[in-house]
Structure 1
Amino acid sequence: MRIFYILFIACMAMQASYAQQLEGRIADARTREALPGVSINLTAAGKGCTSNAQGHYVLPAPAANDSLKISYVGYITLKIPASAAVQTPVIYLEASSTNLNEIVVSSSREKQYRTEVPVAISTISPQTLQETKATTLDKVLNKVSGVYMVDLGNEQHTMAIRQPIGYKSLFLYLEDGIPIRTVGDFNHNALIEINMAALRNIEVIRGPASSLYGSEAVGGAVNFITAVPTLVPTAKVQLEASNWGYKRTDFSVSDTKGKVGFLVGGYYADQRNGYMDHSDFHKLALTARADVQLNEKNKWTTAATLVNYKTDQTGGLDSAHFFAKDYRNFQTFSYREVKALRIRSTLDHEWDSRNHTSVTAFFRHSTIGQNPFYAIRDVRNTLKARGEINSDAFYSYGIIAQHKKDFDWKNASLIAGVSADYSPATYNANYIDIDKDAAGYYVGYRLTDSVLTNYRVGLLNTAAYTQFSFMPLANMRIVAALRYDRMDYDFNNYLPPSAFTGAPSERNNFNALTPKLGLTYNLQHNRGLYANYSKGFAPPNISELYRGVKVPVLKSANYNNYEAGGWFGFAQNKGYVDVSVYLMKGSNEIVSVRTADGSYENQNAGATTHRGIEWNARYTPLRSVFIRTSGTYASHIFDAYTENGKTYDHNAMNGAPKWITNTELTWKPSLLRGFRIGGEWQHISGYYMDAANTAWYDGYDLFNIRAGYQWKGFECWLNCMNAGDRLYATTAEKSAYGKSYRVGPRQTFNFGVAYTFTGKR
């Protein structure tokens, strides 16, 4: 009996202790993810705490009339009665749409305030992703200043960030800080392999980021950050369709139980019978993620993404077809097929408040098979043509280890890391014989036994990098970074070497030392300045180095970038503007040069200058009205360039619009909560279609309208893209074969409905 009384008294004491505490969890109102590091304070008692890695907080029992003040960088500060907090196990914070001092991770692979980063970096928020209802990534990325993601149809694309529209390996695409594709095997269509339905947000670094990420991060780096498991049970299903035969289904399921959180999400898209002939496609994308909070100091995250994609290739139209709005496609059998799998596993360890280590192991596999329209060449004076069916594939096995240490001296911190990536890659191409009709349409082909290309390259990329930052003055932070990369190419040609089949089997290596030096100065009141110098480099791709050459003699292209900028809040934090100006000079750029015997070969014969100004502004004049504008004014010049035996020094680069702007006005009436309607204006100014500056494209203006309504878990929306049904080209080029225009999408209506279930646990 005595033992029973002792246990009873102990239980009552524990209950009394529990009653003397206020505890709960903090989560993002839109993503439902736990928010660590949130400040929670009892205003009357003067006591506070911060939420832990799982968003959990504990405070002493509050007085009856006390209140909670909950604040977190990038979120709207919330004040609620303490009595209400007792009845609310999960408190949700709303992200601020006009707060510049948000948290970013792409500039150092560690969480930092945006205002401590001396680079031009922009974030596409979860709110923007969810409200835009984009069917392709360009519809959100083109909202970022200085970015023009070119729509080539059916999620195919190329990019222009501080560079003209082009197809070279000058942009690095990452998923959670890991390159989507291996170094040396760049593909301008790499973002086909992204699962749009599993994204939390996107961060875009403009300008070279090679000091952290290595090669190809020249014009910019785009980091796609996957969604994290939700704090409470969540399930979502979304259906949409367009007037041009596009249909798509999205889904996601997520929850956290104890120390384990999981998320599964994806989408299936299908296009049939569009406005242009031979333009069908389908895509399946799936992502699974598990986060395990082993304890307060250790977190283990594993994620996998699978993509299966196939599309018809449309190619461009000649002038007659384009301006006549004749959407019949010259191609009737060309296609692109992509299969990709990426797996990463990361262990994060907090040694103490000043030391953090992260180790990531990853695996990648990608195969791109195609019958490309751009490989088709007519046989003169016949109704015949030649082409090829090719396949490009690689496997990757890699590891990235990074440690960060903070110091008492001058608020200093040191980041050091190493990485290794081994990626065996293969490429083969078979000749096909093509039939053409009298009207110029390619109507069929026959396979042959002729093998055009067949090789394997063992790609090994090893790197070490470091970054040191400190505050010599109260409001000034200096950041210095340095990275060393070595890339080894082990090339094996399975065919007799020739000017077409490729170079003899051999080994090549490239190395680069890329520094960065920058500073930020905080002027207080949400205002500040930054400046930096950075260097970028791009080694030759496999196809540039080995395919169609007798001897591989190329060097890495180098770029020196100088920039300065600032951010300025105004109107009592109802708005802000950030501005950057830059000058970037490229040397040893790889161009195709015509030799004395009439053949072509790649040479380091190019030099360019890129300069411009970029801006991004947001303003909320009324609680229900949101205004955003972003853009760039830039000049891209050939300092030295030879093409087809002709020199075009000091010409404007082709495919380089001077003005790129995107402006949006959104209204969310307070009298109709949950409703939104917005208009968007995209402007692309004119540009030269060729390096000789003999042909000009006038550019275009597009107007898009988006409307949506959300009530509890239900949501519906209607987007009208290209509201004026304007005829425009996403790219316009002139070559020896004539002018070619890639037709932009016609007026398109997308209607969708969604339902989200959110549990209350």
Structure 2
Amino acid sequence: MKQFYILLIAFLAMRVSYAQELTGRVADARTREALPGVSVNLIATGIGCTCNTQGQYTLSGTKGDDSLKISYVGYITRKIAVSAAAQMPVIYLEASSTNLNEVIVSSSREKQRRTEAPVAISTISPQILQETKATTLDKVLNKVSGVYMVDLGNEQHTMAIRQPIGYKSLFLYLEDGIPIRTVGDFNHNALIEVNMAALRNIEVIRGPASSLYGSEAVGGAVNFITAAPTLVPTAKVQLEASNWGYKRTDFSVSDTRGKAGFYVGGYYADQRNGYMDHSNFHKLAVTARTDVQLNERNKWTTTATLINYKTDQTGGLDSAHFFAKDYRNFQTFSYREVKALRIRSTLDHTWNESNHTSITAFFRHSTIGQNPFYAIKDIRNTLKAKGEINSDAFYSYGVIVQHKKDFNWKQASLIAGVSADYSPATYYANYIDIAKDAAGYYVGYQATDSVLTSYRVGLLNTAMYTQFSFAPVENMRVVAALRYDRMDYDFDNHLPPSAFTGAPSERNNFNALTPKLGLTYNLQHNRGLYANYSRGFAPPNISELYRGVKVPVLKSATYDNYEAGGWFAFAQQKGYVDVSIYQMKGSNEIVSVRDADGSYNNRNAGATTHRGIEWNARYTPVKSIFLRTSGTYASHIFDAYTENGKTYDHNDMNGAPKWITNTEITWKPACLKGFRIGGEWQHISGYYMDAANTAWYNGYELFNARAGYQWKGFECWLNCMNIGDQLYAATAEKSAYGKSYRVGPRQTFNVGVAYTFVGKK
């Protein structure tokens, strides 16, 4: 009997060692957030499972001598022995830097593979964000093909995506799929309100995206996706400084306990004694996020972002001062101050494998107060000028409801949604007297009790949208989308109407129906083609519609876009190329037209054509070397345009460089793990400075270098921007007042250190 029990115990022990249950989690190696949907398979038996919403997997029947294969779209596949996996509560996957087949969310507001989206879309990965160590967003966005984000100093900016450099409401900026600012109150400096330190990644759609996101998504839409809670306790602190008095501190802390996780992160930046006088600024940005997995079918996510920012304003220099490298600022008192708060709360409910609903409620508040340099106007034959101090503010209360249903027919899916956004906005401007010295510098001002503008606008945007996709034949996918927007403006002028104080109080409304039709064709082996037609629209902004006009008569500008492209992997998946070709025509564009009496009015008098080709290529010839090049060649033409009473039909649009390229090489030597060094070349070709095509700016070449070293939780880096200290203009313009050059950043060295603490579960 004793021998029988011994044999029984031995048999059971063998049974346990032969077949046991294995449980663990899978997370992103850089962000340490859970990766749901990862495939975990036993290589010998083929038994497998998919990670749940919290990145957890459970496998039964595992054997000690077997191995796991962990794979996920856009990540490098790992193989781990079962015995080793049993000792790893969290398995980390590294994102692939040369794999186009990644997961995106911006193209359909739902997760999908990049290769299934018939749009020109690019992703700025967590790796790029972490290794670039950007102090401004243009340092990473300019790596995207077809994108030129213009650095106007101290995080101020404007954008050019399938459009010339300009300041119109042709770009939509999103945070987790929600517009950062309300419709009708566009500000080209909107990205001041983004917390750079709390970003997981960025997705950029080039071309109209109005069929899903509505107005202003014309040249492109940029979606900033916030960091999610980490699976393990994580805390980080980062310090950096530059040779021009820039100092910055980043911080973050995150963890997940049971079904609830949290993330808090942000930064404080301060600039003193820069290369231009009167160019100081400071900014505090904080983001808090909680993710609660209520159960396997319900997830509740809440995010709040707070921004407090103030900067001195630096305007352009005339030719004499610019080329003499005289960086004295003509304005000594202009400033911009931004305060913003955004809160959104989303409930995701999965009904079954075929149905998913999300409900998002959001609140936004933004105030921009400024003494703007561009409002300063000289009074002839005197040492006097006039200007203004103004304030633009709004509150937003909104909701977005979306449902997705998958069908058992032709891999079909239907997305439908409704949204409502009520945003009361106010604008106030007060006249100031400005003193000017004999050298032309504005040295001070005197506030007055003269009110220039004072109004309130109730902005209501209601919309419904739908998108249907299916596979009519193998390897082909067709996507059709349609959105209807109605925008109601309830304008209340607090002053008597005039040519400057604004239009009489009244109500206006705008309607837009924006379609999209596209298809993708999979050529296999990470190769494919796509084509689409899409329409974008931009309603007049409240400043265009009501300020400085007698009667609001403007219509929405519309843009029709046709494009085709493809993606092609090569060299045993060591690299890929994606290419887009497009033509976009704009009509009813809003331009400022001079009337016979010498006054100016905004009118729907413009029409334009935009054509171009965009490319992005990545290649890793050997494991330690990474090559990337991206760019665009484009033509932007006035079909119909009148300025100051003169017609400029068929002229090149001003501020429109034909060539924009960004090329980078990075070396990560195998003999020194954690070390990286890289060089970057930014090329902006020449362009006309005015619509008459009478003045030309030659563009510029810019070279940057970055080096860094990471060992365990410690990291240090040194970045050198504009290595050759080249004199260049971020923007170059010509007007009736002469030529104006906005000085681009001079040679800048940024040095930083960081430490990341990672706990264990």
Q: Which TM class, normalised by the smaller chain length?
A: over 0.9
Secondary structure at 2:621 match in 1 = strand
Q: Which moved more, 1:52-61 or 1:573-582?
A: 52-61
Give 1:65 shift: 1.2
Distance 1:232 1:16 in 2: 29
Distance 2:65 2:390 in 1: 73
- Aligned amino acid, residue 533 of structure 1: Y
Alignment correspondent of 1:664: 664
Within a 5 Å distance, the mapping from 1:637-648 to structure 2 comes to: 637-648=637-648
Within a 5 Å distance, the mapping from 1:359-758 to structure 2 comes to: 359-758=359-758
Secondary structure at 2:310 match in 1 = strand
Give 1:64 shift: 2.3
Distance 2:629 2:640 in 1: 35
Distance 2:54 2:41 in 1: 18
Give 1:760 shift: 1.4
Distance 2:166 2:74 in 1: 35
Distance 2:88 2:526 in 1: 33
Give 1:20 shift: 2.4
Alignment correspondent of 1:5: none
Distance 1:279 1:48 in 2: 59
Distance 2:16 2:565 in 1: 56
Alignment correspondent of 2:37: 37
Question: Structure 1 204/36 Cα, relative in aligned 2: closer, same or farther at 3 Å?
Answer: same
Alignment correspondent of 1:339: 339
- Aligned amino acid, residue 537 of structure 1: F
What are the Cα deviations for residues 37-64 of structure 1, in whole angstroms up to 9, with x where unaligned? 1101111122111110111111114222
Distance 1:55 1:380 in 2: 69
Distance 1:372 1:46 in 2: 66
Distance 1:411 1:158 in 2: 41
TM-score (norm 2): 0.98
Q: Is the 8 A contact 2:19 2:63 kept in 1?
A: no
Alignment correspondent of 2:117: 117
Distance 1:510 1:312 in 2: 37
Secondary structure at 1:361 match in 2 = strand
Q: Is the 8 A contact 2:20 2:63 kept in 1?
A: no
Alignment correspondent of 2:9: none
What are the Cα deviations for residues 451-503 of structure 1, in whole angstroms up to 9, with x where unaligned? 00000000000000000000000000000000000000000000000000000
- Aligned amino acid, residue 121 of structure 1: I
Distance 2:70 2:104 in 1: 21
Q: Is the 8 A contact 2:137 2:196 kept in 1?
A: yes
Question: Structure 1 736/132 Cα, relative in aligned 2: closer, same or farther at 3 Å?
Answer: same
What are the Cα deviations for residues 333-371 of structure 1, in whole angstroms up to 9, with x where unaligned? 000000000000000000000000000000000000000
Secondary structure at 2:32 match in 1 = coil
- Aligned amino acid, residue 433 of structure 2: D
What are the Cα deviations for residues 682-708 of structure 1, in whole angstroms up to 9, with x where unaligned? 000000000000000000000000000
Secondary structure at 2:85 match in 1 = helix
Secondary structure at 1:228 match in 2 = coil
Alignment correspondent of 2:8: none
Secondary structure at 1:472 match in 2 = coil
Q: Is the 8 A contact 2:308 2:338 kept in 1?
A: yes
Secondary structure at 2:620 match in 1 = strand
What are the Cα deviations for residues 602-632 of structure 1, in whole angstroms up to 9, with x where unaligned? 0000000000000000000000000000000
Alignment correspondent of 1:51: 51
Where structure 2 has 5 or more consecutive residues not aligned to the other structure, the ranges are 1-11
Distance 1:119 1:46 in 2: 36
Secondary structure at 1:387 match in 2 = strand
Distance 1:629 1:281 in 2: 33
Distance 2:313 2:231 in 1: 42
Q: Which moved more, 1:53-62 or 1:243-252?
A: 53-62
Distance 1:598 1:694 in 2: 23
Within a 5 Å distance, the mapping from 1:282-361 to structure 2 comes to: 282-361=282-361
Secondary structure at 1:374 match in 2 = helix
Secondary structure at 1:409 match in 2 = coil
Alignment correspondent of 2:168: 168
Alignment correspondent of 1:87: 87
Q: Is the 8 A contact 2:370 2:390 kept in 1?
A: yes
The runs of at least 4 aligned residues of structure 1 exceeding 2 Å deviation read 15-20
Q: Is the 8 A contact 2:18 2:62 kept in 1?
A: no
What are the Cα deviations for residues 719-755 of structure 1, in whole angstroms up to 9, with x where unaligned? 0000010000000000000000000000000000000
- Aligned amino acid, residue 581 of structure 1: I
- Aligned amino acid, residue 385 of structure 1: A
What are the Cα deviations for residues 73-117 of structure 1, in whole angstroms up to 9, with x where unaligned? 000000011100011111000000000000000011100000000
- Aligned amino acid, residue 695 of structure 1: A
Distance 1:599 1:71 in 2: 65
Distance 2:57 2:653 in 1: 56
Among all aligned residue pairs of Structure 1 and Structure 2, give the percentage whose two residues are the same amino acid.
Answer: 88
Alignment correspondent of 2:20: 20
Alignment correspondent of 1:280: 280
Q: Is the 8 A contact 2:516 2:534 kept in 1?
A: yes
Within a 5 Å distance, the mapping from 1:104-183 to structure 2 comes to: 104-183=104-183
Distance 1:503 1:58 in 2: 66
* CA RMSD between the two structures: 1.2
Q: Is the 8 A contact 2:18 2:63 kept in 1?
A: no
Secondary structure at 2:693 match in 1 = coil
Give 1:17 shift: 12
Alignment correspondent of 2:3: none
What are the Cα deviations for residues 238-292 of structure 1, in whole angstroms up to 9, with x where unaligned? 0000000000000000000000000000000000000101000000000000000
Alignment correspondent of 1:6: none
Distance 1:636 1:685 in 2: 14
Alignment correspondent of 2:267: 267
Distance 1:568 1:178 in 2: 32
Distance 1:49 1:95 in 2: 21
Where structure 1 has 5 or more consecutive residues not aligned to the other structure, the ranges are 1-11
Distance 1:594 1:128 in 2: 47
Are residues 1:102 and 2:64 paired? no
Distance 2:742 2:102 in 1: 38
Distance 1:59 1:582 in 2: 48
Distance 1:37 1:479 in 2: 24
Secondary structure at 1:197 match in 2 = helix
Secondary structure at 2:746 match in 1 = coil
Distance 2:64 2:189 in 1: 60
Alignment correspondent of 1:8: none
What is the aligned residue count?
Answer: 749
